[in-house]
Chains A and B, each alone.
Chain A
Amino acid sequence: MAGAQTNRLDNGGLIDRSAPLNFRFDGKTFQGFQGDTLASALVANGVKLVGRSFKYHRPRGILTAGSEEPNALVELRTGARREANTKATTAELYEGLEAASQNRWPSLRHDVMSVNQLFAPIFVAGFYYKTFMWPAKFWEMIYEPAIRRAAGLGRAAIVADPDHYDKAWAHCDVVIAGSGPAGLAAALAAGRSGARVILCEEDFTLGGRLLSDGGTIDGLPAAEWLTRTLTELASTPDVRIMTRTTLFGVYDGGTYGAIERVNDYLPTPPEHQVRQRLWRIVAQRCVVAAGAIERPIVFAGNDTPGVMMASAMRTYVTRYAATPAKRIALFTNNEDGWRTVETALAAGLQVAAVIDARPDVSPAHRSLASRNGFTVLHGSVSGVDGGKDGVRKIAVSLTGGARAEVEADGLAVSGGWNPAVGLTSYHRGRPKWRDDISAFVPDGAPPGMAAAGAANGDFGLGACLSQGFATGAAAARDAGRNGNAGAAPIADDEAFSLTPLWHVAGKGKAFVDQQHDVTASDIELAQREGFESVEHLKRYTTLGMATDQGKTSNVAGLAIMAAVTGKSIPETGTTIYRPPYVPVAIGAFAGHHRDETFHATRLTPSHHWAAEQGAIFVDTGLWKRAQWYPRAGEKDWLESVTREVKAVRSGVGFCDVSTLGKIDVHGPDAGAFLDRVYINTFSSLAVGKARYGLMLREDGLVYDDGTTSRLAEDHYFLTTTTAKAGLVMQHLEFCRQVLFPELDVQLTSVSDQWAQFSIAGPKTRDLLKEIVDPAEDLSNEGFPFMGAREVALRGGIKARLFRISFSGEMAFEISVPARYGGAMARNLMQAGKPFGVTPYGTEALGVMRVEKGHVAGPELSGTTTAADLGLGKMMSTKKDFIGRVMAGREALVAPDRQVVVGIKPVDKARRLRSGAHIIPKGQTPGPDNDQGYVTSVCFSPTLDQWIGLGLVERGRERIGEIVHAHDPLRGEDYDVELCNPVFYDPDGGRQRG
C-alpha cells in the first residue's frame, strides 16, 4: 500500500514530495511527506475512519486540522513511549511513526462495543449518577472497572517514560501567542520598537491561517509576505521565535506557562536531548493572537466520518495538498464557509451543493454556483446517511419545509468562528458576547494582556494585521520600548455575514461534544432535570470536560441550553476557564525531578569514604547518611548494628555527625541572644565550654535541642538536630531581625563548613592521642567533660574538639574544615587500628541513644513540653525566653501529662515495636483508657533484649508498674514494664571518666 497516496494533489501544499515518510496506522503501512501531520497523511491516503467514540463507540473521522480536534485521537508510539489521546491533527509525521486508534476491540472497523449504541437510551446525561447508585460497594469493585473498559480513551503506557523533560525560564517585554497575521504584525511592531519579544506558535510552521487561506498583504501574495516578515523578525535583535510551543496558562506577576514539544516530531529524541520542555515566561505584556476556532453546527449524524469543518477542509487541500473528499457539499451559515468551495474548485474537486442557512446568498456566489454546475439550497442539513466508510448522502430541510438530498462523500460545515478566549479568561475574566459575530470575545483579561485579530473577534485579514500591529506597538510602549515601529502591513478585509444557527432538529443523534459523546438531547434532558446552570450542565452531561476542553462544543452547548430555557446566550453565561489550554504531560512539570533526582541530595564530607567501606545509606531528609557498615558474613542489619554498638561500648568507634545544623553566633550580645532563645542560660557559659540547650516554640512546646559551645567572648557555635537545621536557622534569623533587633548579634550557617565526627568508647582518648598534637592535654583535668576548644592535629591542621557524648561513653566530637572530611575518616581508621576502631552508622547511634535515654525526633514531636521530656528543671526562672509564658498554660503543666519513660517487655525475648499503645493492665484497649504510646525502640546489645522509650501518662510516677502494650496495627498484645529511661550507666560515670 505504501506510496498510494490516493487523495494527494499533484502540486501545491507545504509538503516536501522529495521527502516521503513511511508510517503505520493500526498496523497498516502508509506513506506521507515531510510537512504532513498524521491527520493530513491519513487524509492523503483516503483514510476516513480514525477512531471510535468515547461512550457509544460510533465511528469517527477527522473533524478539524488543529489542537481543537475532538475525534482524531490516537495512541502515538509504542511500548514505554506510547502516548494516549494524541491528536492526529497536531502530531507531526516522521519516518517510522506508529499510531493506533483508540477505544475499539478487536479492531477499528469491527468494534464489539459499538453495541453500546443500541443501549443509547440509557447512556444519557447523568447516566453514571442514576445507574450506579447502589449498592455503594459495587462501585469500586464492579461498576467502575467495567465502565472503564467499555468507555474511555487511550491506554497509558504503564511503564516508566524513558525520555527526559526539562524546565526553563525565559524573560521578555512582550510575549505573543500565535503566529498568524495578527501575531506576526504584533511581533513586527514590538520588535521594531526595540522590545524583547517571544513569539510562541504551537504549529511547526509559522503563519497560522495564512498557510491555508492565503491573501494579499502589502501587495504581495501571503506566502511572499510571510517569508519577508520572518526574515525581518529573524534579523531583529531580541526577537525569539518558538515553534511547537503552546502558551497554555497565565500565572501571577506576568508569568506564562508554555510547553515546547522539542522533539515530538522524531521517533526518539536525539541523545542528550529532551522530548519536551516546560517554559515559565516572565513578560511585561502579552499579546494573545491565538486566532479563532471554527464552530460546528449540531445536526443529526454530524459525527459521521467525512463531515469536517470547512476551514479544516481548506487547510488539508491548500496546506497539505490532500483532499478529504472527491465530491463535497458545504453547509454554512456565513460568508466565510464559501471560501472552502472556492478552494475545492481550484483543487479540481467536485462541489455537489452548498446548503446555506442564511436568507440571502450574494449574486457573486450564485454566479459561482451556476458557472460550476452546483446548486445552492436555502436550508439546513437535517441528517447524514453514511457510516464508517464515510458520508454518502446528505438530507436537507429546505427553507419553507421541503426536503432535498445531496449525494457527496464529504460535508464541509461552517457555523461561524469563536475567538480562542482561553488565555484571556484564566484569571476569571468572563468573555463578553458580541451580537455582530454571534460569539464571545475576550473581556477582563489579566493585567498586561490584550487580544488582537481573530482572537479578539476581528476576523478579516486587514483587521488582524492592523490590530495586531497596534497591539504589539502598544505592548512595547507599555514596557518602555519606544523605537519607531514603522508602518503596519495592509490588507483588505473579507466579507463576513452570519446568521446564527446552532442546532438543526432532526432524527438521530446530533452531537455537541463529540469527544465525550454529549448530544443535543442530553442538554435538553439536563435542563428538564434542573441542571440549568452552565456549571451544572457541564458536570451533569460532561460537556466540555474531555481532553479538548470543549473547544468545538462549549458555545454550541450554551446556545442549545439558552434556546430551551428561553434565555439569551450571554444570559446563560460561560463556565469558568482554567489552564492548561492544551494537555501538558506530567513529565514536563516534573522535568529533571524524577527517580534519584526527585529532589536535591546532600552528601556528608565522608560520604565517598563511607561508600568505599560498603556502608548502607539511609535517606534522612535530603541527606544520605551511613546507616550501618556491613561486614562479610553478617546475616542481617541487626548483626552489623549489634557489632558496632558493642565495639563502641568496649573499645572505640566513630560516626560522621556533620548533618547536625551548625550556626556561628557572633557579636557582643550573642550570649544575651541565646538566653532568649534557649530555656537555659548561655551568657554565663565560660569560654571553652559546651552546654546542652533546649529551645521552645512560642506556644511553649519543645522546638529543638543541641549543644552550643562558647569559642570566644563574642562567638558561640550552636548545633541543631539534623531535621531542624534549616528551620532553626530561619527561626533564629527571625528572632534576630524581628523580635530582638536591639541585640548586636550576627548569625551564619556553617553547617557545610565543618566535617564533624563523634568518637566514642572507652578507648577514645587513646585514639585521639594518636591524631592530636602531643602538646594538647586531653586528660580529664586538661579537657574535662563539656570542654570545647581548638586543638592542633598531627600533620599541621587545626580542629575543634568538643567533649560531649550522645552514646553515654567517654566521647569527643571533632570538627575539621569540610574538605578534610575524607582524610579525617581515613586518619581515624589509621590512628585507631591498634584499638580496633569501628565506624558506626545512624542505627548504632540510635541504639546507644535509646540505651542512654536521650530524647530525639520521636520524642521531640511537637507535642511535648520540656517537663514531658524530663528536662523541666532546665527552664530558667531567672530570665525570660521564647515559650516561657505559654509553657505555663494549665494543660501544659497538668500532672497527668504523658511523659518520657523507659519501657521493657515482661517477656525478655519479645520484640518491641514503636507505635504500640499503653493501656493499664487488665483493661480493654480503647481510646478511653489509652495512656500513651511507645515512641522509640531498639534491640539493646548491652542488655541483650529489646528496650524502648515511651510517652506515658504520669510515667515517671509509675516506674516498675506492669502495663499492657496494644498494637492493633500489627495485631500484637503484650505486657511491658515502665522503667527508668536511662537504661545504661544511669549515673553517667562512663562519659565523665
Chain B
Amino acid sequence: MSNSAIPSSTIRMEDASVAEFSWDIRSPIERALVVGPYGALGEAGVSLTEIRNFDLVQVMARRGKAAEMTKPAKARFGVAAPEMPKAVSTADATLIWSGPDQFFVLSKGGKHTTEALVQTFASSASLSDQSHARVLISISGPKGRMMLAKLSSIDLHPDAFPAGAAATTSMDHTSVTLWRGNDRPDGQAVFNVLVFATFAESLWHTMLDSAAEYGVEIGHSEDLA
C-alpha cells in the first residue's frame, strides 16, 4: 500500500449513525521536519529532503529460484535486478540490492505496489510491503559527504562509491539502506537513505546535529527524484 495516497473520507448513507473518518497519512518525521534553513547561516552546505510518496517492496527469491526471479524482474523493469550491492534506476523504479537473492523495489507511489508485483513474480519470490516501514531521506550539497562521514563508516569517495553503489549498513547504531543516486543537474552527488520508520525521528535529529555546522536546507517532496 502506497504510503501517501489519502483515501477520501466517506459517510455511509445506509447507516446514519456512522461518523466520518479521515485516514490522513503522516510521515513519521512530519513533526520533526521543519522546512527551511537550519544551522549555520549562509549558503547551505547540506540539503536534506524527505521523499514522502513511495512504494517499497522487499522481493526475496524463494529457495533455489534466484535465477527464475530475474526474468520477471527484467521483463517488468527492463533492467536486471542487482546481484551485488548496487542500485539500478529506471524511469519509475529503483531496484536496490538488500542481501543475497533479494532486493527492494522502490517506486513512485502506486506504480509498483505489492499487489501488482505479486502477479509479476508469481511463485518465484516472496514479497513483503515495506512502504510504511521506512523513511526515505535524500542528502546532497557540497558538504553532504562531510556530514555523512559522521554517520557512516563507508568510504563515500567518488572512486569508492560511484553513482549506483549501495550498502546495507548502519548509521548512529540504526540499520539503513544507503545508495548513491544519479548526480543532481549541478553535478552534486545525491545519497539516499532508507531508515526504519520508528528510528527515523531519532536519526533525523542526529543528521541535523551532524549537518548544522555546514548549514542545512531542509525540505520534503512527494516525488522520488
Q: Which residues of A contact B (CB under 8 A)?
A: 164, 166-171, 196, 238, 271-274, 280, 282, 592, 597, 599-605, 608, 622-623, 658, 664, 666-669, 714-715, 743-746, 748-754, 770-771, 774, 793-798, 817-823, 827, 830-831
Residues of B within 8 A of A601 (CB): 199, 201-202
The reply to whether A823 and B24 form a contact with Cβ atoms under 8 Å apart is yes
B198 interface hit (Cβ, 8 Å): yes
B residues within 8 A CB of A282? 153, 155
Instruction: Give the chain A neighbours of B39 by CB distance below 8 A.
Output: 272
Query: B149 contacts A770, CB within 8 Å?
Result: no
Q: List, in ascending order, chain A residues with CB within 8 A of B203's CB.
A: 600
Q: Could you tell me if A169 and B152 are in contact, using CB atoms closer than 8 angstroms?
A: yes
- A170-B149, A196-B157, A819-B28 given as contacts; is B23 within 8 A of A795 (CB)? yes
Residues of A within 8 A of B40 (CB): 271-273
* Chain A residues whose CB sits within 8 angstroms of the CB of B1 once the complex forms: 797-798, 817
Judged by a CB distance under 8 angstroms, whether B220 is at the interface is no
Report A3 CB to chain B, min CB distance, Å. 36
Asked whether A600 lies within 8 Å of B172 as measured between CB atoms, the reply is yes
Give the interface segment out of B78-86, B89-97, B204-212: B204-212
Residue of B at shortest CB range from A822? Answer: B26
A171 CB contacts on chain B under 8 angstroms? 155, 157, 160
Extra inter-chain contacts (7) besides given A273-B213, A592-B210, CB under 8 Å: A171-B155, A171-B157, A597-B205, A601-B199, A603-B202, A751-B196, A751-B198
B153→A280 contact, CB < 8 A? yes
Residue of A nearest to B9 (CB): A795
A818 touches B202 (CB 8 A): no
Q: How far is the CA of A748 from the CA of B60 in the complex (A)?
A: 9
Q: Is the CB of A746 within 8 A of B174?
A: no
Q: Name the A residues within 8 Å of B132 (CB-CB).
A: 752-754, 817-820
A168 and B149 in contact, given A592-B210, A603-B198 (Cβ under 8 angstroms): yes
In the complex, which of the residues B128, B146, B213 contacts A666, with contact meaning CB atoms closer than 8 Å? B128
CB neighbours of B196 from chain A (8 A): 751-752
User: Which residue in B26, B202, B213 is a CB contact (below 8 Å) of A272?
Assistant: B213
- What is the CB-to-nearest-CB distance from B148 to chain A, in angstroms, rounded to a whole number? 9
Residues of A with C-beta under 8 A to B150: 166-169
Q: How far is the CA of A196 from the CA of B159 in the complex (A)?
A: 11
The answer to the question of B126 belonging to the interface, with a C-beta cut-off of 8 Å to chain A, is yes
A658 closest partner in B (C-beta): B198
- The 4 A-B pairs at the shortest CB distance, nearest first, are namely A666-B126, A796-B7, A744-B63, A753-B133
- Cβ contacts under 8 Å, A748 to chain B: 58, 60, 126, 128, 130
Q: Does B22 contact A (CB under 8 A)?
A: yes
12 examples of A-B residue contacts, CB within 8 angstroms: A167-B150, A169-B152, A271-B40, A592-B209, A600-B172, A600-B202, A608-B26, A622-B199, A658-B198, A743-B63, A770-B18, A820-B23
Chain B residues within 8 Å of A604, by CB: 198
Whether the pair A795, B21 counts as a contact (CB closer than 8 A) is yes
Nearest CB in chain B: distance from A479 CB, A? 12
- Closest chain B residue, CB of each to CB of A666: B126
Are B153 and A169 in touch, CB under 8 angstroms? yes
Nearest chain A residue, comparing its CB with the CB of B195: A752
**Distance of A820 Cα from B132 Cα, bound (Å):** 9
A600 touches B173 (CB 8 A): yes
Shortest distance between the CB of A750 and any CB in chain B (Å): 6
Which residue of chain A is the closest to B63 with respect to CB atoms?
A744
B28 touches A818 (CB 8 A): yes
Q: Which residues from chain A contact B27 at a C-beta distance below 8 Å?
A: 819
Q: Quick one: closest B residue to A279, CB to CB?
A: B149
Q: Please, which residues of chain A bring their CB within 8 A of the CB of B133?
A: 749-753, 818
Q: Is the CB of B197 within 8 A of A831?
A: no
Q: How near does chain B come to A409, taking the closest CB pair, in angstroms?
A: 47
Question: In the bound complex, how far is the Cα of B155 from the Cα of A238, in angstroms?
Answer: 13
- Bound state CA distance, A588 and B56, in angstroms? 38
A284 to chain B, nearest CB (A): 11
Interface residues of B in 180-200 (CB under 8 A from A): 196-199
- A166 CB to closest chain B CB (Å) equals 6
The reply to whether B19 and A770 contact each other, CB–CB distance below 8 Å, is yes
CB-based contact A667/B25 at 8 Å: no
> Is B119 an interface position by the 8 A CB rule?
no
Contact between B19 and A831 (Cβ–Cβ < 8 Å)?
yes
Q: Does B108 contact A (CB under 8 A)?
A: no
Complex CA gap A623/B212 in Å reads 26
Residues of B within 8 A of A668 (CB): 62
Which residues of B lie under 8 Å from residue A666 when comparing CB positions? 60, 126-128
Q: Are B21 and A771 in contact (CB under 8 A)?
A: yes
Are the CB atoms of A774 and B15 closer together than 8 Å? yes
A-contacting residues, B59-112, CB 8 Å: 60, 62-64
In the complex, which residues of chain A have a beta carbon less than 8 angstroms from the beta carbon of B9?
A: 795
Taken together as a complex, chains A and B put the C-alpha atoms of A664 and B212 apart, in Å, by 38
The answer to whether A830 and B21 have CB atoms under 8 Å apart is yes
- With beta carbons under 8 angstroms apart, the residue of B3, B157, B199, B201 that contacts A817 is B3
In the assembled complex, the CB of A361 is this many whole angstroms from the nearest CB of chain B, namely 55
* Closest residue on chain A to residue B100 by CB atoms: A737
Select the residue from B128, B203, B206, B210 with max chain A CB neighbours within 10 A: B128
Cα A821 to Cα B27 in complex, Å, equals: 10
- Nearest-neighbor residue (CB-CB) of B214 within chain A: A272
B128 near A750 with CB under 8 A, answer: yes
Given A666-B128, A752-B134, A831-B21, A600 and B174 contact (CB-CB distance below 8 Å)? yes
The answer to whether A819 touches B10 (Cβ under 8 A) is: no
How many Å from the CB of A741 to the closest CB on chain B? 8
CB contacts (< 8 Å) of B210 on chain A: these are 166, 592
Q: Which residues of A contact B18 (CB under 8 A)?
A: 770, 774, 794
B138 at the interface (CB under 8 A from A): no
Contacts of B10 in A (CB 8 A): 794-796
Which of A280, A746, A794 is in CB contact (< 8 Å) with B60? A746
Instruction: Please measure, in the bound complex, the distance between the C-alpha atom of A170 and the C-alpha atom of B127, giving whole angstroms.
Output: 37
B128→A794 contact, CB < 8 A: no
Give bound CA distance, A238 to B145, whole Å: 14
Residue of B nearest to A272 (CB): B212
A667 — which chain B residues lie within 8 A by C-beta? 62-63, 126
Nearest chain-B residue to A171 (Cβ)?
A: B155
B154 to chain A, nearest CB (A): 8
> Cβ of A794 and Cβ of B26 under 8 Å apart?
no
User: In the complex, which residue of chain B has the Cβ closest to the Cβ of A665?
Assistant: B126
Mask of B12-34 contacts with A, CB within 8 angstroms, 1/0: 10110011111111111001000
Tell me the bound Cα distance from A605 to B1 in angstroms: 16
Query: How many Å from the CB of A30 to the closest CB on chain B?
Result: 32
User: What residues of A have a CB within 8 angstroms of the CB of B174 in the complex?
Assistant: 600
Is there contact, CB below 8 Å, between B213 and A274? yes
A167 to B22 alpha-carbon distance, docked (Å): 44
CA distance A273 to B214 in the complex (A): 9
B21 & A746 in contact (Cβ 8 Å cutoff): no
Residue of B nearest to A670 (CB): B126
Chain B residues whose C-beta falls within 8 Å of the C-beta of A664 in the assembled complex: 126, 128
A495 to B92: give the CA distance in the assembly, Å: 72
Kindly state the separation between the CA atoms of A791 and B174 in the bound complex, as whole angstroms: 33
Min CB gap B225→A, angstroms: 21
In the complex, chain A residues whose CB is within 8 Å of the CB of B64? 744
Residues B198 and A746 in contact, CB atoms below 8 Å apart: no
When chains A and B are docked, how far (Å) is the Cα of A604 from the Cα of B134? 13
In the bound complex, CA of A798 to CA of B132 (Å): 14
Indicate which residue in B7, B23, B62, B206 contacts A746 across the interface (CB closer than 8 Å).
Answer: B62
Query: Considering the chains assembled together, what is the distance between the CA atoms of A754 and B133 in angstroms?
Result: 7
A830 is contacted by which of B15, B19, B25, B197 (Cβ under 8 Å)? B19
Q: How far is the CA of A796 from the CA of B24 in the complex (A)?
A: 11
Q: CB of B140 within 8 A of chain A?
A: no
Measured CA separation A514–B148 after assembly (Å)? 44
Shortest CB distance B33–A (Å): 13
Given the complex of chains A and B, what is the CA–CA distance between A798 and B21 in angstroms?
13
Task: Please indicate the chain B residues that have their CB under 8 angstroms from the CB of A166 in the complex.
Answer: 150, 209-210
Q: Nearest CB to that of A601 among chain B residues?
A: B202
Inter-subunit contact A603/B21 (CB<8 Å) = no
B23 contacts across to A, CB distance below 8 A: 793, 795-797, 820, 823, 827
What is the minimal beta-carbon distance from A720 to any residue of chain B, in angstroms? Answer: 15
In the bound complex, how far is the Cα of B60 from the Cα of A715, in angstroms?
Answer: 13
